Amino acid sequence: MFESLSDRLAGSLKDLRGKGRLSGADIDAVCREIRLALLEADVALPVVRSFITRIKERAKGAEVSAALNPAQQVVKIVNEELVGILGGETRRIEFAKNPPTVIMLAGLQGSGKTTLAGKLAKWLKDQNHTPLLVACDLQRPGAVSQLQIVGERAGATVYAPHPGTSIGGGDNALGITAADPVEVARAGIAEAKNKHFDVVIVDTAGRLGIDEELMAQAAGIRDATQPDETLFVLDAMIGQDAVSTAQAFQDGVGFTGVVLTKLDGDARGGAALSVREVTGRPIMFASTGEKLEDFDVFHPDRMASRILGMGDLLSLIEQAENVFDAQQAEDAAAKIGSGQLTLEDFLEQMMAIRKMGPIGNLLGMLPGAAGMKDALAAVDDKQLDRVQAIIRGMTPAERADPKMINASRRLRIANGSGVKVSDVNQLVDRFFEARKMMASMAGRMGMPGARKANQ
C-alpha cells in the first residue's frame, strides 16, 4: 500500500534537496511530478487538482524561514496538505452520554464489515468497554456464524437470531421473525440496555454492488437504532470505485466516519486520499489484515508521513523550527557563507542542536538512517561534551578568532578543560576544515552572503 506513491513522491521531492533557492520553474516541476504520482495512485481528479493548487500557492508564497531551506519548506507544505486531505485531526469515536453507544457498520459485501465488528469489539474491550455485537447481516449465508466466530475470538457477546426461528424462542412476546434485520437490530439494542452493555455494534448486510434494496434496509436499521456513529466500511483495494461507492452510501444511508480496510494489500491508495475530501467525513480507523489485532485508529499525520516516506524527517523539521532562533540562524548562515564562522557561533549552534535531544536520536530521524544503526551508535554525546568543554575553556577573543590559538594557548586550554593537547589540536584543525568546506558549499548553493572561502 502506498509504496509506489511513496517512492514517486520521495523521488520528486529529492530533486529539490541541495537547492538553496527554488525558482517558480522548480516548483512547477515538482508539482507536475506530484500530480502524476497522485493520479497514478488512483486519487480522484478533483482531489488532485485542489491539492496541487494549494501546494503551488503555498510554495510560491512560502514564508522566508531561517530554520528551513526551501526544499525542506516544500516537504513541509506537501506534508501539511497531505495531512489536510486525510482529515487533519485524528477523529475518535464519540460515545453517547447515555449508554449504550450504537455503532452501525455499513458497506459493500466483502468490504470487511464482519471482520471489523470483531476488531472493534476487541479494541473497545481493551479500553474497558463492554460491547455487544448484533448480527443484522441475515442475507449472506454464514454471516451470522462468522460474526459469532469473530465475537468469540474477541471475547465479546454476540446477539443473533437462530436461523429460521424467532428471537428468544418461537413464541416470544415480540413475535419477531429472524428474517427481519431491522427488528433484530431493535431487539439487540433492547438486549444491550437490559444487560448493561455500553456499546452496540450493528453488523449489516452488504451487496456486491450498490442497490436500492440494500440502501433501504440499511436506512431502516439506521432509523430503528439511531446510531451515534455510522461507519462506512471501505475496501481500499477497489480503486477508483471507492469514490462513487462512498457517495452512494452517503446519499442512501449517511455516515459519520469511514473505516478503510485491506490497507495491507498492494492497492495504490487513492481511496484513502480521496474519500475524506469527497465525502467530508473523516477516516476513523484503518484495518491492515485479517487478524483482530490488525487494526488501529487512523491518524492523518502518521499516514501522511508514511506516504511521504520521509521517516521522521518531518519531526526533525518541526523541532528545528521550534529550537532555532530565526535571527541567530540567519546570522550564522551569513557567517558560514562568508567563511567567518567563529567558535562562539559553532558552540551556540551545537547547543541549539543538542537541545533537540541526544545526537544519536536526531540522526536516527533522518531518512535512510535506519541502515546506519552502527554508525549512529558510535556517535557519542560524551565526545560532544568534550568539544563543548574545550570551547568553554577558551577566552572570548580566542573563540572569535581561532587563528590566534597558538601552542601555549592550546596547552592552557587543554589543562583548563581537562583534555589532552592533541584533543584541542584536533578540534581547532577540524574547525578550520569545516569552516572552509561550509563556506564553499554555501557558495555553491547560492546562500546569501556567500563569497569565496577565505578560511
- Binding mask 113-142 toward ligand GDP (x if CB under 6 A, else -) reads xxx---------------------------
355 in a known ligand binding site: no
245 in a known ligand binding site: no
Q: Judged by CB, which is closer to ligand GDP: 99, or 265?
A: 265
> Parallel, antiparallel, or unpaired: how do β-strands 229-235 and 283-287 relate?
unpaired
206 in a known ligand binding site: yes
CA atoms within 13 A on the CB side of 85: 30
Q: Judged by CB, which is closer to ligand GDP: 79, or 111?
A: 111
| Smallest separation (angstroms) from ligand GDP to the CB of 142 | 9
Q: Judged by CB, which is closer to ligand GDP: 200, or 390?
A: 200
Q: What share of the chain is helix, strand, coil (3-state, %, to 5)?
A: 55, 10, 35
Q: Which of 90, 109, 139, 247 binds ligand GDP (CB under 6 A)?
A: 109
3-class DSSP assignment, residue 173: coil
Give the full edge-to-edge strand order of the sheet including 101-106: 157-159, 131-136, 199-204, 101-106, 229-235, 257-261, 283-287, 295-297
109 in a known ligand binding site: yes
What is the size of the binding site for ligand GDP (CB under 6 A)? 18
Alpha-carbon distance of 299 to 278, in angstroms, equals 18
| Smallest separation (angstroms) from ligand GDP to the CB of 131 | 16
Q: 69 with 80: CB under 8 angstroms?
A: no
Burial readout 402-416 (b: 16 or more C-beta within 10 A, e: otherwise): beebeeebbebbbee
Q: Judged by CB, which is closer to ligand GDP: 31, or 236?
A: 236
291 in a known ligand binding site: no
Q: Which of 129, 262, 268, 410 binds ligand GDP (CB under 6 A)?
A: 262
Q: Which of 80, 198, 264, 296 binds ligand GDP (CB under 6 A)?
A: 264
Q: Which of 6, 72, 101, 111 binds ligand GDP (CB under 6 A)?
A: 111
207 in a known ligand binding site: yes
Is there binding between residue 239 and ligand GDP (CB under 6 A)? no
Q: 22 with 74: CB under 8 angstroms?
A: yes
Question: Hey, which residues between 279 and 298 contact ligand GDP (CB under 6 A)?
Answer: 287-290, 294
| Smallest separation (angstroms) from ligand GDP to the CB of 360 | 36
- Which residue's entry shows cell 468490504? 111
> Parallel, antiparallel, or unpaired: how do β-strands 283-287 and 295-297 relate?
antiparallel
3-class DSSP assignment, residue 192: helix
Which parts of this chain interact with ligand GDP (CB under 6 A)?
Answer: 107, 109-115, 206, 261-262, 264-265, 287-290, 294
Known binding-site positions for GTP: 107-114, 203-207, 261-264
